[in-house]
Amino acid sequence: MSTRALTNSSRILYLCSRPTAIRRMSSQAKIISSRELPASDARWISLRELVCQDQEGKQRKWECAERKTRGPSGIDAVAILAFIQSAKNAFAPSTVIIEQYRPPMDKCVIELPAGLIDEKETAEQAAIRELEEETGFKADRVIEMSPITATDPGMTTANMKLAVLGVTFPDALELSDAKLDEGEHIVKRVVELHKLHDELQEYDKKGFIVDARLSHFASGLNFAKRLGNPIGL
C-alpha cells in the first residue's frame, strides 16, 4: 500500500485511487444496449404494485421498486461524510468525495463514499469498511449516525443512514490506496470543506452530475457561511 503526505494547499487535492489502473482503461464507460427487464430476470431489484387508501378513503395504485439485498438491520445502505483534519492544523478541515460512472444516469456522478450493509454488519461497521475500501482512509471515530432516511420515497423503498466519521492525522494529510473490488472504477478527491460548494458547481459546468445528498450537504454548508459562518468553517 502506497502512502503519500500532502501539506496545506490553496487548491483542491486530486487523487486517483488506482492511478495505474485508470491509465490502462482504453475507453470511456457508456451504455451499449438497453432493454426492458422482466421482473423474473432481475437479480437485485423487484418491482411491486401497491394498493393504497388515501386520506379521502379512495383506493389508489402505486408502483415501487425495492432492493432484494436488505438484511436484518432493516437498512439498505450507508453514505459516509468523512471529517478529515490535522492535529497540528497542517491543512484545512476537509472531506473526501468520489467520481463514479453510474449506468442508470449514463454519466459520471460525484458522490459521498457509500455502500450496501452486509448481512451481519451494523451501519457503523459498514461505514468504516466502505470508507477504507473506496478511499483508503481509516476512520478513528464515529462522530454521528443519522436516523434512517429515504433515498427516493416516491419511487422506491430504499433507505440509508449517513455516517459522519472522523479521520485525524497527526500532521500532514496522508493518502493510502483504496481497496476496490474487481470492476470498481472510482476516483477520489479530497476537498477543503469551505470550498466544497464551489467545486461541485464546477463539476456541474463540466457535465458531471452531483448526487443529491452531497449537493444538499454542500448547499447547507454554503448557506451557513452566508449567514455568518456559525459552524466555524
Q: What is the pLDDT of residue 230?
A: 56
**pLDDT digits 0-9 by tens, 14-33:** 443 333 333 344 568 999 99
Q: Is the pLDDT of residue 229 over 80?
A: no
What span, in angstroms and rounded, lies between the C-alpha atoms of 54 and 76? Answer: 27
In which region does residue 3 sit, left (phi positive, over 0), alpha (psi from -120 to 50) or beta (all else)? Answer: beta
**pLDDT digits 0-9 by tens, 53-72:** 999 999 999 999 999 999 99
What span, in angstroms and rounded, lies between the C-alpha atoms of 135 and 199? Answer: 19
Instruction: With 0.95 as the threshold, say if the pTM is over it.
Output: no
Joined grid coordinates for residue 71: 438484511
Q: How many CB atoms lie within 10 A of CB 91?
A: 20
Contacts of 188 (CB under 8 A, 6+ apart): 15, 16, 17, 96, 97, 98, 99, 113, 134, 135, 136, 178
